[in-house]
A and B are shown apart, each in its own frame.
Chain A
Amino acid sequence: MGARLSSMLKDAGLTAFVAAALGIFIVGFRTVDVGSRKGLGFDYQFADLAVAVVTIFFGRLGLSLAAAGLRWPSMVLGAAMIAAGASPLELPSGFLHWFVALGGVLLVIRGVWPWANDAMTAAAGSRSGVVLGRAGAKWSGWLLLAAAVAMPFTPFGDQKTMDLGVLILTYVMLGWGLNIVVGLAGLLDLGYVAFYAVGAYSYALLSTQHGLGFWVVLPIAGMMAALFGVLLGFPVLRLRGDYLAIVTLGFGEIIRLVILNWFDLTNGPAGIGSIPGPTLFGAVFAETAPAGKQTVSQMLGIPFDGIHRLIFLYYIILFLALITNLFTQRMRRLPVGRAWEALREDETACRALGINPTNTKLTAFAVGAMFAGFAGSFFAAKQRFISPESFVFIESAIILAIVVLGGMGSQIGVVLAAVLLIGLPEWFRDLGNYRMLAFGLAMVLIMVFRPRGLVAHREPSLRLHPIKPGGGR
């Protein structure tokens, strides 16, 4: 026992040493501007470093204890760390409080995990567990929807939360759209944001230059994006796997570069501004209406408030996202949806069964692109200003991360992943530069604990023996 403990202590000491050696350059020094004469000087943050190193020492010790089967001591250590993090102790920075507490939380989770895992495996295996899980999945969806609909009227519905809600829902919609291409049809698309850009520029150009309204352009933008999907898809869909990914990546960049350089049409890097927002039965959301129109507050006879516009945008994107979801759910149960999934599973077998792989892939590509087009024109109407900078590769990567982390093909998984990946970084904005750390941590944790995505369960598109609650067939 003593020998084991001493080796654990040695191991923890080594880890702390490595952390200190790495951290001394990253955390220990900071260059600061000390006035024009002297140029840059050093600011020393050794206290921060010391706290971090001590935390890492105990964290590693706790992990070793847990790995050796001593889960209780490990959890006590974790609880102590949470208490230290939450205490009014004078730590050098606010972030360190979070760091210490988070380390403690992880230790406690590590301690509880084997039990939780056993319980979950047992529950998933039993028939009542399956029924419960299905009911849970069904009801959690409806519950989430009810919460989303009611959100603007709850005390949480302030400016900041609504903004975040609109942002998350936009990504949920994009995730659902990409889910058709990646999750169902199994086509790895790294340039999805291109179709989003096509939709956004369709609305921006048609509204600012031809005076068309949002609701008229919405279907046009979707069709434009679908057309681009077919145009891209036709030559490249004979490629498989990695090759397809590279070509779609290239296509995403081509669209962005064309937008950037086709100055006459798109105004290049300067972007397009003063895009009109969506209207409600022809009424605009503004304090004073332009000539010949009326504002929504005039129409409804309520005092003007800036948040009305935000609430309206929120419901539009909620509506669009729900349409995407309903459409996808429906398609999955149709022959074409089953062919998408079959194509993902085995393209050769599909061909042998007389399924035309090119057409089937094209429909998936076009439908996915169409929803990106809808979302893009919503984005343009919301922002009122778009430029090529909104459509860079990292957007495609985030949408893809949402689909993959959510669990390929799972609709509710996309929602959870969007809330985690979009909501979390915004929520942790107070952490400043460290918020991307939270993003990365969330991704790593999901991949460690749920390697097949948050929701890996696949519900068959039809059943021969419907499962009835209460067990039995």
Chain B
Amino acid sequence: MSASQGPPLIDVEHLTMRFGGLLAVDDVSFVAQPHEITAIIGPNGAGKTTVFNCITGFYKPTIGRLTLRGGDRDYLLERMLGHEIGQRAKVARTFQNIRLFPGMTVLENLMVAQHNKLMHASGWSVFGLLGLRRYRKAEEEGVELARGWLERIALIDDADRPAGELPYGAQRRLEIARAMCTEPRLLCLDEPAAGLNPHESAELNRLLVSIRERDGVGVLLIEHDMSVVMNISDHIVVLDYGRKIAEGAPAEVQRDPAVIRAYLGTDDEAIDG
């Protein structure tokens, strides 16, 4: 277990997800601490994205409890509707295959992320239609938040370009910034380094560390790129065939024989001999 203790940010207990005859996630339990980066790793098809989809409300788990500790109350994520998890529990996520709003500009993407806050300020469009000061001020604040993020991900000059025109690496960064603009408690990143070159991966590492240090947001990370996982994670959960096979700090996990077996497919004799 990791060093920092206290109440965890999210507590996943006995999570099981069954699709017909396929057991995609089998009795997985783990916790993620606030102000930490928790990585979920495992070979392809291990059920990592399914865990994410359960946490973010895209799937309803067959069995299990997902508790998010937020401020003064707990949220039972498995009982909430998909959009409520983003809106009230404040869990944000990115997708394995980038899901930006390609026809809208970079800035608009970040403004859409602040929808619920701005919707409230616009009095469900009534104040906004009347052009009241209250809404205009909220919108200016929203733009400022977006500007701050655009500076952090070095896309400030591309703010008014359609998001779909950006190069691949920039789209990845923008998706993370968009998720952060919802001002989340927990940020779930599904393979953020996929398709990035080493330089971009290093940049991503710095961004994720700054999200942990500066914004104090807990990060849940699915990643195959070990240069990202081993360098920045505080805690690693390893899945294989839907089961949790190991858990611990990066150095411990790297030495774990079960993990090596799962990744390299070496048989028992090879390890013994």
Which residues of A are at the interface with B, using a C-beta cutoff of 8 A?
327, 330-331, 334-336, 338-339, 341-342, 344-346, 348-357, 363, 458, 460-465
Residues of B within 8 A of A458 (CB): 103, 162
Residues of B within 8 A of A346 (CB): 99-101
Please determine whether B107 and A342 come into contact, CB atoms closer than 8 angstroms.
no
Please determine whether B182 and A462 come into contact, CB atoms closer than 8 angstroms.
no
Inter-chain CA distance A330–B130, complex, in Å, is 9
Inter-chain CA distance A339–B101, complex, in Å, is 10
State which residues 44-63 of B face A: CB under 8 Å. Answer: 56-58
Say yes or no for B116: interface residue by CB 8 A criterion. Answer: yes
Please determine whether B128 and A353 come into contact, CB atoms closer than 8 angstroms.
no
Please determine whether B101 and A342 come into contact, CB atoms closer than 8 angstroms.
yes
Residues of A within 8 A of B84 (CB): 354
Please determine whether A464 and B143 come into contact, CB atoms closer than 8 angstroms.
yes
Please determine whether A345 and B128 come into contact, CB atoms closer than 8 angstroms.
no
Residues of A within 8 A of B95 (CB): 348-349, 352
Inter-chain CA distance A336–B116, complex, in Å, is 9
Please determine whether B119 and A353 come into contact, CB atoms closer than 8 angstroms.
no
Please determine whether B107 and A354 come into contact, CB atoms closer than 8 angstroms.
no
State which residues 68-116 of B face A: CB under 8 Å. Answer: 82-88, 90, 92-93, 95, 99-105, 107-108, 111-116
Least CB distance from B158 to A in Å reads 10
Please determine whether B102 and A462 come into contact, CB atoms closer than 8 angstroms.
no
Residues of B within 8 A of A357 (CB): 83
Least CB distance from A353 to B in Å reads 5
Given contact pairs A341-B101, A355-B115, A462 touches B83 in the complex (Cβ within 8 A): no
Please determine whether B107 and A339 come into contact, CB atoms closer than 8 angstroms.
no
Among A341, A356, A363, A463, the residue within 8 A (CB) of B103 is: A341
Inter-chain CA distance A461–B103, complex, in Å, is 12
Among A327, A334, A465, the residue within 8 A (CB) of B160 is: A465
Q: What are 9 inter-chain pairs, A to B, with CB distance below 8 A?
A: A330-B129, A339-B112, A341-B104, A349-B95, A352-B99, A352-B179, A460-B107, A462-B139, A464-B147
Among B92, B102, B111, B178, the residue within 8 A (CB) of A338 is: B111
Q: Considering residues A349, A356, A460, A461, which has the most beta carbons from chain B within 10 angstroms of its beta carbon?
A: A349
Least CB distance from A351 to B in Å reads 5
Please determine whether A349 and B108 come into contact, CB atoms closer than 8 angstroms.
no
Please determine whether B115 and A353 come into contact, CB atoms closer than 8 angstroms.
yes
Please determine whether B99 and A460 come into contact, CB atoms closer than 8 angstroms.
no
Residues of B within 8 A of A354 (CB): 83-88, 90, 92, 115-116, 182
Least CB distance from A262 to B in Å reads 35
Residues of B within 8 A of A353 (CB): 86, 92, 112-113, 115, 178-179, 182
Q: Beyond A458-B103, A460-B105: 10 further Cβ-contacts under 8 Å? A: A331-B125, A331-B129, A334-B122, A335-B119, A336-B122, A351-B58, A353-B115, A355-B86, A461-B108, A462-B143
Say yes or no for B159: interface residue by CB 8 A criterion. Answer: yes
Please determine whether B82 and A460 come into contact, CB atoms closer than 8 angstroms.
no
- 4 nearest A-B residue pairs (beta carbon): A354-B86, A354-B87, A345-B101, A464-B159
Given contact pairs A335-B128, A342-B104, A352-B92, A460 touches B160 in the complex (Cβ within 8 A): yes
Please determine whether A355 and B112 come into contact, CB atoms closer than 8 angstroms.
yes
Inter-chain CA distance A348–B105, complex, in Å, is 18
Q: Considering residues A339, A460, A465, which has the most beta carbons from chain B within 10 angstroms of its beta carbon?
A: A460
Q: How large is the interface on B (under 10, 10 to 19, 20 to 34, 35 or more residues)?
A: 35 or more
Inter-chain CA distance A331–B130, complex, in Å, is 11
Residues of A within 8 A of B179 (CB): 352-353
Among B83, B105, B125, B147, the residue within 8 A (CB) of A351 is: B83
Say yes or no for B118: interface residue by CB 8 A criterion. Answer: yes
Least CB distance from A444 to B in Å reads 26
Least CB distance from A473 to B in Å reads 9
Inter-chain CA distance A354–B30, complex, in Å, is 25
Please determine whether B101 and A355 come into contact, CB atoms closer than 8 angstroms.
no
Q: From A408, which residue of chain B is reached at the shortest CB distance? A: B103
Inter-chain CA distance A367–B55, complex, in Å, is 34
Q: From B181, which residue of chain A is reached at the shortest CB distance? A: A353
Q: Considering residues A342, A348, A354, which has the most beta carbons from chain B within 10 angstroms of its beta carbon?
A: A354
Least CB distance from A406 to B in Å reads 17
Inter-chain CA distance A464–B105, complex, in Å, is 10
Q: What 0/1 pattern do residues 131 to 168 of B give for CB contact below 8 A with A? A: 00001000100010011001000001101101000000
Please determine whether B83 and A355 come into contact, CB atoms closer than 8 angstroms.
yes
Given contact pairs A345-B104, A355-B112, A465 touches B159 in the complex (Cβ within 8 A): yes
Inter-chain CA distance A417–B24, complex, in Å, is 51
Inter-chain CA distance A357–B104, complex, in Å, is 18
Least CB distance from B59 to A in Å reads 12
Least CB distance from A240 to B in Å reads 15
Residues of B within 8 A of A356 (CB): 83, 87
Inter-chain CA distance A356–B85, complex, in Å, is 11
Inter-chain CA distance A442–B156, complex, in Å, is 43
Inter-chain CA distance A396–B10, complex, in Å, is 50
Residues of A within 8 A of B135 (CB): 334
Least CB distance from B70 to A in Å reads 13
Q: From B119, which residue of chain A is reached at the shortest CB distance? A: A335
Inter-chain CA distance A354–B112, complex, in Å, is 10
Residues of A within 8 A of B157 (CB): 465
Least CB distance from B84 to A in Å reads 8
Least CB distance from B104 to A in Å reads 6
Q: From A357, which residue of chain B is reached at the shortest CB distance? A: B83
Given contact pairs A334-B122, A463-B107, A465-B159, A349 touches B99 in the complex (Cβ within 8 A): yes
Inter-chain CA distance A335–B124, complex, in Å, is 9
Please determine whether B86 and A460 come into contact, CB atoms closer than 8 angstroms.
no
Inter-chain CA distance A327–B102, complex, in Å, is 25
Residues of B within 8 A of A463 (CB): 105, 107, 159-160
